[in-house]
Structure 1
């Protein structure tokens, strides 16, 4: 496990260095510069730079400018916003970062203004939080099926999704 973590850390550090070079040279690589897939791939690298939340914040600020020009994916912006907030000890805005309760059910990390989370999610193109939590719960159940069955949980415990 230590060998894997060292390898993973070296990959993330190397990717972050290149992502920073790109940001310095071009700004946030929006859809018009690198296409939808390229922009999404760049975001994914930044999303996993949890070891450097200051870099993530810098990217988020530049990404916001591209969002305002409809030149980046609003869903990715929501995920990075929540990731930065999680990494800096703040409550989430969109509920994209989860933990799992003892029954294997996905639960959002603490939210700011939870009453309006689905409005914010809708504004950036995300499904209702309950639907997302159900999706994460089902995935978690499948990955941990043997453990869940040993606990007597025979199917994922889902939330009611608002209409």
Structure 2
């Protein structure tokens, strides 16, 4: 299935967290907004998104080996800088870098799968910032799932998916207590799992439509029933 690529969500885990984080730490000192950091993170994430996507533009000419080398280089290089930022500031919250800067920091940590220990350290600090309303709960949930899978545990919110290549349908990777997953998702501001999976399915199919048509004769993906 040479032309079909798997989208890994941004898609998207804590050691034992099953509900919206409630830990709150009051910080008496005011954090100064850092525009230079915002700008740096924005520039970094532009390259990150090139590496996280399927090859585009000049990168389409790369061999699979060269493409993987490029991706690994981007993610490992960024991780070094992210660690420096984290060691100095902890999790980058809204107060330090605004919603965009906080999201960009989180997003690049998502892609540090080669270092789940670092991801988990960030997760612990992010939990505190979510409790302080200084970080986005739904993004926290995506990192919870990412860390869990990277450390051999089941995910909590079902944000990390894979695909049935015979139907194009997305489905969650190993998931605990699937019956109550939508209650957990709602608690952090995520849509029902079926809606999310359908969106991931449609996105994946658009990106790989040519391959599905040519190799499977599939003209549209299978979707889940929703209420």
Q: Shorter-chain-normalised TM-score: which range?
A: over 0.9
Match among 32, 52, 55 for residue 118 of structure 2: 55
Separation of aligned partners in 2, 1:2 and 1:117: 38
For residues 112-132 of structure 1, the C-alpha deviation after alignment (integer angstroms, 9 at most, x for no partner) is 111111111111111100000
Alpha-carbon distance in 2 for matches of 1:140, 1:45: 21
Name which of 32, 38, 42 aligns with 2:95.
32
Whole-Å separation in 2 of the counterparts to 1:139 and 1:52: 28
SS of 2:118's equivalent in the other structure is helix
1:161 lines up with 2:218 in the alignment: no
| Structure 2 unaligned regions, length at least 5 | 1-63
* Poorly superposed stretches of 4+, deviation over 3 Å: none
The match for 1:44 is 107
Q: CA deviation at 1:99?
A: 0.8
Corresponding position of 2:77: 14
TM-score (norm 2): 0.69
Match of 2:144 in 1: 81
The answer to whether 1:2 aligns with 2:57 is no
Q: How many residues end up aligned between the 2 structures?
A: 162
Partner in structure 1 of residue 29 of structure 2? none
Q: TM-score if structure 1 supplies the norm length? A: 0.95
| Mapped pair 1:126 → 2:171 | no
Give a deviation string over 1:36-90, Cα, whole Å, max 9, x none. Answer: 0000000011000000000000000000000101110111111111111111111
Kindly report the root-mean-square deviation, in angstroms, between the aligned alpha carbons of the 2 structures: 1.1
Residue 201 of structure 2 corresponds to which residue in structure 1? 137
Structure with higher RCO (Cα < 8 A, 6+ apart): 2
SS at match of 1:99: strand
Deviations, residues 5-58 of structure 1 (Å, cap 9, x unaligned): 222212211111111111111111101111000000000110000000000000
Which structure 1 segments of 5+ residues have no match? none
Pick from 81, 100, 113 the counterpart of residue 163 of structure 2.
Answer: 100
- Structure having the larger proportion of residues in helix: 1
Structure 1 window deviating more from structure 2 (142-151 vs 46-55): it is 142-151
